Structure 1
Amino acid sequence: MRVLLTGSSGWLGRYLAPLLRDAGHIVTGLDVAPGADTGVIGTVADAALIERTFGEHGIEAVIHGGALHKPDIARYSRQTFVDVNVTGTLNLLEAAARAGHDRFVFTSTTSLMISQAIRDEADDAAVWLDEDSGPIEPRNIYGVTKYAAEQLCRLFHAEHGLSSIVLRTGRFFPEEDDTHSHPPGENLKANEFLHRRLTVEDAARAHLAALDKAPGIGFGTYLVSAPTPFVRTDAAELKHDAAAVIARYFPEAPDLYAARGWELPGRIGRVYDSGRITRDLGFVFDTGFAQILAALRDGTPLPFAHDADYVSPKEVA
């Protein structure tokens, strides 16, 4: 298929574009910043550009990964978030509907599921989050606009029969966390594979699976995060002594972490359960916490990216 990939110069796009080509698709990349896989420079908020791109490139399907993200809140106005994340998504959906497409994949975020109450972690147990969790009460403009875009995908399926898959991805960015500095860098990312992170490679593969399965599903929303080893009955203990729970599941973890000078989390306040994407799409993640421990044990490179100096191409541009 001729696939329009938005956000093609970004972190996900640079992994997803080659994967799509390897699967036999013809990829047209669209981004505000130049990149190796970006043939169209511009914003999804430009409806005329979207319409022209569809016509000139014979677009048959869309993977919409381009967006403003949570760190952009400090750089862009609320109106810009609405223009890019909401109006941009609407522009793409309308063009896809006019073209008679049968599939649309939207990159969303687990962040929109985190209300201020969940973020405050005031409960006595970790919050267990899956696709049925709610009510959805996003705590910032990023979450609000991504949730609105999700609902546009649902609406276009209901009104136009456009098969749409929404992927609420966990963390896969390579840079440092913008709110937490301890534990640092790689240690924090490794810990997050227990409950809220995945590799960018798995994120890209999930998009390819969604593109393939969308017509058979119609509309679906899926969490995309490395499978957690925990079960719901662990929630109370995770909040108070996560290290003990981790040691039960992975007895070698404390020693492997100590040898690296790392710390296991003392508490975990939320857990993302991504089981539905495996059940519905047959998608299997390549990397989880067990693979990280194996790398520590064997002295091989860690199976995830960490780049403290990474800057989004749109900011460089």
Structure 2
Amino acid sequence: MRVLLTGSSGWLGRYLAPLLAKSGHDVTGLDVVPGAHTAVIGTVADRALVDRTMSEQGIEAVIHSGALHKPDIIRYPRQAFIDVNVTGTLNLIEAAVAAGNDRFLFTSTTSLMVRADVRAGASEQGAWWMDEDFSPVEPRNIYGITKLAAEQACRLVHREHGINVAILRTGRFFPEDDDTHDAPSGENLKANELLNRRLTVEDAAAAHLAALEAAPQIGCDTFILSAPPPFVREEAGELARDARAVIARHHPDAADLYAAEGWVLPETIDRVYDPSRAERRFGWRAATDFGSVLAALRNHTPLPFTHDPDYTSPIVRQEREACMC
């Protein structure tokens, strides 16, 4: 299948493009900055470029993973988020319909589900259990607002034209340090997040491939992508009070393994992302979870995720290099 992949120079793109190619797909990468897997340089906000690329490359399916992200809020005005995240998505899915494509994948984010009260901490009932039916959805910043609007645009075009749409709300998978948490930080924080809100970039790429292949059976649906939590919904109250006791029930040696590493387990957990719909509907389940981290600590093998505190996105690197000229 001839696939257009936007965001091909980004962190997900560098893993997803070769995975698609290995699976027999002919990939055309589109991004605003050059990259190893990028053939077309430009913005999805440019409708003429999108139409021309679809026609010249004979595109049969689109995976739209390119976007302005939360860290970009400090660098770009709100209008830029509307242009790229909303107008760009509409350009792509309308072009896909015009080209006769039968499937469209949109990489969204769990961030748009984090309302002000969710960000403030657990509810009176305990940790927020967040599946695709979690509501109301009230994004707290322009990033989340535009990603939600793009999701709605995808659903609209599906209703009007019947194109199959998979909306993939990814948890955290970027390698850099968190921009709001500094204790714990680094690898310890990423390991903790695999309990409830993170997945590896490799698993994110695998989910996109699985959704692409299953799209005709999906129709139109939204999916949370995250490592499977070891918890069950009935433990939500205890997670908000004493997460370490719950973790110990599922992973009895976690505390000792962490202590040997000088790490700390979370005292409380205020939200849990539930990715089970993706497994039920198109067979994807993250290969790496919190148990994988403990196995690495136990066996003294490399951690099963990438941590790079110096990582910067390609567009930021390009801007910095331009300033140095």
TM-score, with structure 2 as normaliser: 0.97
CA contact (8 A) 2:55 2:99 kept: no
Residue 62 of structure 1 corresponds to: 62
Residue 313 of structure 1 corresponds to: 314
CA distance in 2, matches of 1:117, 1:262: 28
Alpha-carbon offset, residue 285 of structure 1: 1.5
Partner deviation per Cα, 1:247-294 (whole Å, 9 max, x = no partner): 111000000000000000001110001111001111122100011100
CA contact (8 A) 2:191 2:290 kept: yes
Residue 323 of structure 2 corresponds to: none
CA contact (8 A) 2:6 2:65 kept: yes
CA distance in 1, matches of 2:6, 2:43: 9
- 1:8-87 mapped onto 2 (5 Å cutoff): 8-87=8-87
Partner deviation per Cα, 1:89-128 (whole Å, 9 max, x = no partner): 0000110010111000000000001110111115231100
1:220 aligns with 2:221: yes
User: Over aligned residues, Cα RMSD in angstroms?
Assistant: 0.7
1:116 aligns with 2:129: no
Residue 167 of structure 1 corresponds to: 168
CA distance in 1, matches of 2:103, 2:94: 13
CA distance in 1, matches of 2:256, 2:122: 31
The alignment partner of 2:269 has SS state of coil
The alignment partner of 2:56 has SS state of helix
1:148 aligns with 2:149: yes
Partner deviation per Cα, 1:168-224 (whole Å, 9 max, x = no partner): 000000000011111010000000000000000000000001100111111010000
Residue 271 of structure 1 corresponds to: 272
- 1:89-108 mapped onto 2 (5 Å cutoff): 89-108=89-108
1:237 aligns with 2:235: no
CA contact (8 A) 2:227 2:285 kept: no
Residue 256 of structure 2 corresponds to: 255
Alpha-carbon offset, residue 149 of structure 1: 0.5
CA distance in 1, matches of 2:71, 2:218: 33
CA distance in 1, matches of 2:212, 2:282: 10
Partner deviation per Cα, 1:126-176 (whole Å, 9 max, x = no partner): 100001110110011000000000011111110011100000000000000
CA distance in 2, matches of 1:158, 1:123: 35
Gaps of 5+ in 2: 319-325
Alpha-carbon offset, residue 41 of structure 1: 0.5
Residue 297 of structure 2 corresponds to: 296
Gaps of 5+ in 1: none
CA distance in 2, matches of 1:284, 1:177: 25
The alignment partner of 1:235 has SS state of helix
CA distance in 2, matches of 1:119, 1:208: 31
Partner deviation per Cα, 1:8-32 (whole Å, 9 max, x = no partner): 0000000000000011000000001
The alignment partner of 1:112 has SS state of helix
CA distance in 1, matches of 2:300, 2:171: 27
The alignment partner of 2:45 has SS state of coil
Matched letter for residue 92 of structure 1: L
TM-score, with structure 1 as normaliser: 0.99
Residue 177 of structure 2 corresponds to: 176
CA distance in 2, matches of 1:57, 1:101: 13
CA distance in 1, matches of 2:137, 2:255: 36
CA distance in 2, matches of 1:103, 1:77: 31
CA distance in 2, matches of 1:200, 1:305: 8
Matched letter for residue 197 of structure 1: R
CA contact (8 A) 2:173 2:199 kept: yes
CA distance in 2, matches of 1:294, 1:118: 31
CA distance in 1, matches of 2:292, 2:120: 30
Residue 322 of structure 2 corresponds to: none
- Runs of 4+ aligned structure 1 residues displaced above 2 Å come to none
CA distance in 1, matches of 2:161, 2:227: 33
